[in-house]
Chains A and B, each alone.
Chain A
Amino acid sequence: MTTLSWIFFGMLLLTVFLLGAQALRLAGRARAQQRSIGELSEALKRSQEYAEQQKSKLAQRSDMDVAKDEFISTVSHELRTPLTSIRGALGLLSAGLLGNVDAKAQNLLRIASSNTERLIRLINDILDLERMESGRAPLKLRRCSILDLAREAIDSMTPMADGAGVALELTCSAPRDSIYFDADPDRILQVLTNLLSNAIKFSPEDSKVFVQIESDTNSVALKVVDRGRGIPADKLDAVFDRFQQVESGDASKKGGTGLGLAICRSIIQQHGGAIWAQANQSGPGATLWMQLSRSARASDTNLPSLVAGPGERGEGLILVCDDDAGIREVVAEQLRQHGYEIMEAGSGEEVIAIARAQAARARDHSGLPISALLLDLYMPGLSGWETLQRLKETPATASIPVVVLSVIPATERTLLAGEAQGWVQKPFNENLLLAELGRVLRAKAGPGQILLVEQDQSQAKVIMGSFEQAGIRMDHAATLQQAVDRCLLGAPDLIILDLTLPDGDGFSLVDWLRRQPALHSLPLVVYSSREVSEAEMQKLRLGPTQFFTKAKVRPSEVEELVLGMVSRLRNGTPVAAA
């Protein structure tokens, strides 16, 4: 059965590689067709032809992207379906749930079972890597604490460490206010657990794995130090390549997929950071480093405590009021997942008590102020309307932004004009709730500024239209020169960049921005009609950088991401000052 599985896997790899090779060939041909500097009279005609050819190439490429997406999606389904039966059958047999099996057969079942698990991990890792490198897994950036993430990773890896007789030890030499940075916490957690899992696998029994956090004003760094057999000097870089192992047979002995560190590297690069391996200075073993840039925020010092719960990622404290505990729970869970901290109230009376108490705590810095209140209108006792009135009567609670969460349609919001800043109709959809809450919180923070660099006027209009309602000010530059001029006037909060420009390209703009001290770490969203290669991505990174292919994402997804980036980056010290 393992042979069969490997054949499935081989088919997957082969086809993925064939598609990749085809993409490379196309890219190669496109480059070869670069305009040669010939006679001027020919140049105009040629450039027109070239433009036409490129257009059709791009169309082909985006068709291929769609085909590739579908292929990956189908393959993932088609491989997992037979694996489900195999894993199920082997699992039940080897657990002895259906009767006893003799020792030899038991051993064979164990081999088949553990290799099935390995094949499943491999397929998951390959698909994960593929999704990341094709830009189909955009980062969900938010303010994170490296200390919390390290603790979370250690908690989840402790059972594995215990099993291997290895102790995990965390130290943090970073000042309390410089452990916060902008990143996708789930992805960083994936990196940390991968690094820990590697360190544990290669550690001798009764040894320790050290996790050390070092950070300063501009960066957050974390290293994982093990006392294992170490990595030879000539393999220090190669360990981050796919299917690289220090000794042959490691993958099967250690149960790895050979993709863990490649995934780590991909994630860290997507964040614009660095990851590398070092031999330990004294004694055996290896040290794996990851480093991400950070910009300080005034709000970081106000965060309540060093031991922040998983929900406390700096998005703000939301008070959720509904007399239905089920609804409170659903809303609270969704908001927590997006980095908000939640307090719950079951009645209007409770809202008033909590809001007053919390305002007092915020005054003496023993608690966070309430960033917004989500309020149901129909409640027994004090209704939502009455609750609002009472809040407005007390100066300490009068300025809390309110988002109404009600079965009453938003068209009736004039009922509460001036009293509630946002409105979400029940039954609600998670995205709408988040968008409305985000809008209200951002409105409080003042308008943002985005520079859109896009040569096509009609596309620019569409993009700008989608941001208008969000209270974001958007400047538009249609040429490289306009973009440079605009940036010299003052740094925007974020740049959205199309790569094709009439008087140059996106690469030259990024190259220029990188050389400007005030602009080199601006957040950037590259929004291009064609797929951007790994090598090109390297040339396009500024601060936190995201890549989108126009045909692949809906404008609303870009909008959601950009709004999130802006609101997070604007709250504190401007990024450009870092």
Chain B
Amino acid sequence: MRHILIIDDEDDIREVAALSLEATAGWEIVTANSGAAGILAAANPTRRPHAILMDVMMPGMDGPTTFRQMQLNPEIAGIPVLLLTAKVQGVDQRRFADLGVAGVLFKPFDPLTLAAQISAALGWKD
């Protein structure tokens, strides 16, 4: 069973994304409403996520900052991170690719194929 951590400051989006992944892929979802809470959730040794889906624009630590913080912690640095962004400017995408994230997904996402998009980005076959 895959565990996915969703980090987004919008309550509604967390809920919809979680429902979507649970209903379409049967994954187990943990959510966090800020970058800081996300780092704590990722570091929980009893429920280490297989992947993290993280919003880019968040108050406080934004997605890229949170990602860089995660890379400093060897325990969670290896967890693949997918950024979820509502902007589609080419420049942003290139900036994210330079960061070293596993992929970038776009809002508004399709709730029926979100899990498939995550699997494809991470090369998951199951």
Q: Are A87 and B20 in contact (CB under 8 A)?
A: no
B100 nearest CB across to chain A (Å): 9
B36-44, B72-80, B105-113 - the one binding chain A: B105-113
B29: CB under 8 A from chain A? no
A430: CB under 8 A from chain B? yes
- Write out the residue numbers on chain A whose beta carbons fall within 8 Å of the beta carbon of B17: 88
Q: Are B13 and A88 in contact (CB under 8 A)?
A: yes
- Write out the residue numbers on chain B whose beta carbons fall within 8 Å of the beta carbon of A87: 108-111
Q: Are B23 and A98 in contact (CB under 8 A)?
A: yes
A414: CB under 8 A from chain B? no
- Write out the residue numbers on chain A whose beta carbons fall within 8 Å of the beta carbon of B24: 97
Interface size on A, residues (CB 8 A): 25
Q: Are A98 and B19 in contact (CB under 8 A)?
A: yes
B58 nearest CB across to chain A (Å): 11
- Write out the residue numbers on chain A whose beta carbons fall within 8 Å of the beta carbon of B94: 430
Q: Are A429 and B111 in contact (CB under 8 A)?
A: no
Tally the A-B contacts, defined by beta carbons under 8 Å: 72
- Write out the residue numbers on chain A whose beta carbons fall within 8 Å of the beta carbon of B122: none
A120: CB under 8 A from chain B? yes
Given contacts A77-B57, A97-B23, A97-B24, contact A88 B97 (CB under 8 A): no
How far, in angstroms, from A77 to B97 measured CA to CA in the complex?
19
- Write out the residue numbers on chain B whose beta carbons fall within 8 Å of the beta carbon of A338: none
A87 nearest CB across to chain B (Å): 4
- Write out the residue numbers on chain A whose beta carbons fall within 8 Å of the beta carbon of B16: 84-85, 88-89, 92
Q: Are A84 and B109 in contact (CB under 8 A)?
A: yes
- Could you tell me which residues of chain A, from 81 to 108, have a CB within 8 Å of some CB in chain B? 81, 83-89, 91-92, 95, 97-98
- Write out the residue numbers on chain B whose beta carbons fall within 8 Å of the beta carbon of A76: 86-88
SS class of chain A's interface: helix, strand, loop or mixed?
helix
Residue of B nearest to A427 (CB): B100
- Write out the residue numbers on chain B whose beta carbons fall within 8 Å of the beta carbon of A124: 88
A127: CB under 8 A from chain B? yes
Q: Are A81 and B107 in contact (CB under 8 A)?
A: yes
- Write out the residue numbers on chain B whose beta carbons fall within 8 Å of the beta carbon of A86: 108
- Write out the residue numbers on chain B whose beta carbons fall within 8 Å of the beta carbon of A97: 23-24, 112
Q: Are B23 and A88 in contact (CB under 8 A)?
A: no
B28: CB under 8 A from chain A? no
A80: CB under 8 A from chain B? yes
A533: CB under 8 A from chain B? no
Given contacts A88-B16, A89-B16, contact A429 B107 (CB under 8 A): no
- Write out the residue numbers on chain B whose beta carbons fall within 8 Å of the beta carbon of A430: 94, 97-98
Given contacts A81-B13, A98-B23, contact A88 B87 (CB under 8 A): no
The contact of A80 among B19, B90, B107, by CB within 8 Å, is B107
Q: Produce 1/0 per residue, A318-355, CB < 8 A to B.
A: 00000000000000000000000000000000000000
A399: CB under 8 A from chain B? no
A73: CB under 8 A from chain B? yes
Q: Are B20 and A88 in contact (CB under 8 A)?
A: yes
Q: Produce 1/0 per residue, A104-139, CB < 8 A to B.
A: 000000000000100010001001000100000100
Q: Produce 1/0 per residue, A237-275, CB < 8 A to B.
A: 000000000000000000000000000000000000000
The contact of A84 among B90, B97, B107, B112, by CB within 8 Å, is B107
Q: Are A84 and B86 in contact (CB under 8 A)?
A: yes
B12: CB under 8 A from chain A? yes
Which of B20, B94, B108 has the most chain A CB atoms inside 10 A of its CB?
A: B108
- Could you tell me which residues of chain B, from 53 to 105, have a CB within 8 Å of some CB in chain A? 57, 86-90, 94, 97-98
- Write out the residue numbers on chain B whose beta carbons fall within 8 Å of the beta carbon of A92: 16, 19-20, 23, 111-112
How far, in angstroms, from A116 to B86 measured CA to CA in the complex?
15
- Could you tell me which residues of chain A, from 373 to 393, have a CB within 8 Å of some CB in chain B? none
How far, in angstroms, from A73 to B12 measured CA to CA in the complex?
22
Q: Produce 1/0 per residue, A51-78, CB < 8 A to B.
A: 0000000000000000000000100110
Q: Are A84 and B13 in contact (CB under 8 A)?
A: yes
- Could you tell me which residues of chain A, from 178 to 203, have a CB within 8 Å of some CB in chain B? none
Q: Are B23 and A91 in contact (CB under 8 A)?
A: no
B8 nearest CB across to chain A (Å): 9
- Write out the residue numbers on chain A whose beta carbons fall within 8 Å of the beta carbon of B19: 88, 92, 98
The contact of B86 among A81, A88, A429, by CB within 8 Å, is A81
Q: Are A88 and B98 in contact (CB under 8 A)?
A: no
Residue of A nearest to B14 (CB): A85
B63 nearest CB across to chain A (Å): 13
Q: Are B108 and A83 in contact (CB under 8 A)?
A: yes
- Write out the residue numbers on chain B whose beta carbons fall within 8 Å of the beta carbon of A80: 86-87, 107-108
Given contacts A92-B23, A98-B23, contact A73 B107 (CB under 8 A): no
How far, in angstroms, from A116 to B108 measured CA to CA in the complex?
10
- Could you tell me which residues of chain B, from 1 to 37, have a CB within 8 Å of some CB in chain A? 10, 12-13, 16-17, 19-20, 23-24
How far, in angstroms, from A88 to B86 measured CA to CA in the complex?
14
Residue of B nearest to A429 (CB): B98
Residue of A nearest to B57 (CB): A77
Q: Are B87 and A73 in contact (CB under 8 A)?
A: yes
Residue of A nearest to B98 (CB): A429
A125 nearest CB across to chain B (Å): 12
Q: Are A73 and B10 in contact (CB under 8 A)?
A: no
How far, in angstroms, from A175 to B25 measured CA to CA in the complex?
51
How far, in angstroms, from A91 to B23 measured CA to CA in the complex?
12
Residue contacts A-B, CB under 8 angstroms, 14 given: A76-B86, A77-B86, A84-B10, A84-B109, A86-B108, A87-B108, A87-B111, A88-B13, A88-B17, A91-B112, A92-B19, A124-B88, A127-B88, A430-B97
Known: A80-B108, A95-B112, A98-B23. 11 other contacts (CB 8 A): A76-B88, A77-B57, A77-B87, A81-B13, A84-B109, A85-B16, A88-B109, A89-B16, A92-B16, A124-B88, A429-B98
Q: Residues on A close to B: CB < 8 A?
A: 73, 76-77, 80-81, 83-89, 91-92, 95, 97-98, 116, 120, 124, 127, 131, 137, 429-430
Q: Residues on B close to A: CB < 8 A?
A: 10, 12-13, 16-17, 19-20, 23-24, 57, 86-90, 94, 97-98, 107-112
Closest CB pairs A-B (n = 9): A88-B16, A80-B86, A85-B12, A91-B111, A84-B108, A97-B23, A84-B107, A88-B111, A87-B108
